[in-house]
Amino acid sequence: MKIVFMGTPQFAVPILEMLYKEHDVLLVITQPDKPVGRKRVLKASPVKEKALELGLSVYQPIKLKEAYQDVIDLHPDLIITAAYGQMLPRELLDEIKAINVHGSLLPAYRGGAPIQYALFDGLKETGVTIMYMAFKMDSGDIIKQQTCAIEDDDHYQSLSTKLSHIGTSLLKDVLKTYNPKKTKSYPQDVSKVTFAYTLKPEDEILSFHQPSDQIINRIRGLSPEPGATAYLENTHLKFFRAQKSDIIDDIAVPGTILSLKKRLTIKTLDGAIDILEIQAPGKKMMGIKDFLNGQQIINEGDVFKEGSISHGR
């Protein structure tokens, strides 16, 4: 089939590779390059990098709703989307069928951060949905689904990778027998809808006035990108992996650094956690022992500022 593909993060890359091998990809649409780092150097999305490697045409409209006619003029058989990052205009959906690969078991976790929120909420299982696109966010009829176990050591990257491969296989199977008039689908149960809206900067800030499990799950959902942030005076640290601590302190306020002896232990609402991987300003991610060796940023008894966690559901 003639396909226009829309996607942006690494999650979408295996899907694009499969479509390139199995079908005729007329165009790849992805988000505009974004400035990163202190020097604000423009960086292409993983999908753009892969598309250029494959020799495919790439289009990066700032607002798709102002550029959708270019897609219609290509007369594709289907639009395939996977974590693209923009709503498809109604006018486009009225002209061309669109199928989406979504990283949750819809109707749970509609929105741009379903994988992160599955981890935030401590789920033991999630999955992938192949669905028709509708103008209302992630509300289209479901074509096919498959579950995926969430392991205790999963974080955003590992879970995203697993779901991406499941989604690629599911979509491949759907497209083998796809017929716009015969392919079966069924509506979502609107009584079970939850949301996982695209993360905002404040969603990355840790609050230690939370139970240990919730804080650890927040760190898992933000690792390794962008990292969970904690503020100490004017310094911000990023955490990427943590576990429950066996240190007991019923007096210290949440956010207090309880120990720096071979580990960084921080008081939480119901106990304490040990930070296992950390990043200091201007440094790379490192194991906690390497960080503590000679660091002069933090001291026992220091208290992290109270953060604000937004619950996007």
Contact 163, 209 (CB under 8 A): no
List phi, psi (to 5°) of 60: -130, 70
| Beta strands per DSSP E along 161-271 | 228-232, 235-244, 257-259, 264-267
The ranges assigned to domains in the chain are 2-192, 201-292
pTM: 0.94
Tokens representing residue 229 in the block: 């942030």
Task: Indicate the pLDDT class of residue 307, thresholds 50, 70 and 90.
Answer: low
The domain made up of 201-292 is a member of CATH 3.10.25.10:
yes
User: Binning pLDDT at 50, 70 and 90, where does residue 312 land?
Assistant: very low
State the pLDDT at residue 310.
45
| 186-232 per-position pLDDT tens digit | 999 999 999 999 999 999 999 999 999 999 999 999 999 999 999 98
Q: Are 46 and 10 in contact (CB under 8 A)?
A: yes
Please say whether the beta carbons of 15 and 164 come within 8 A: yes
Task: Return the pLDDT at 170.
Answer: 98
Question: Does 94 have pLDDT greater than 80?
Answer: yes
In this prediction, residue 37 has a pLDDT band, given cuts at 50, 70 and 90, of confident
| pLDDT computed for residue 181 by the predictor | 87
Mean pLDDT of the chain: 95
Nearest CA among 21, 185, 39 for reference residue 100: 185
∠ CA 68-28-130, rounded to 5°:
85
- pLDDT reading at 25 higher than 90: yes
CATH number for the domain formed by residue range(s) 2-192: 3.40.50.12230
Q: What is the pLDDT of residue 190?
A: 96
* Residues of the chain above pLDDT 90, percent: 90
Q: In this predicted model, which residue has the larger pLDDT, 44 or 310?
A: 44
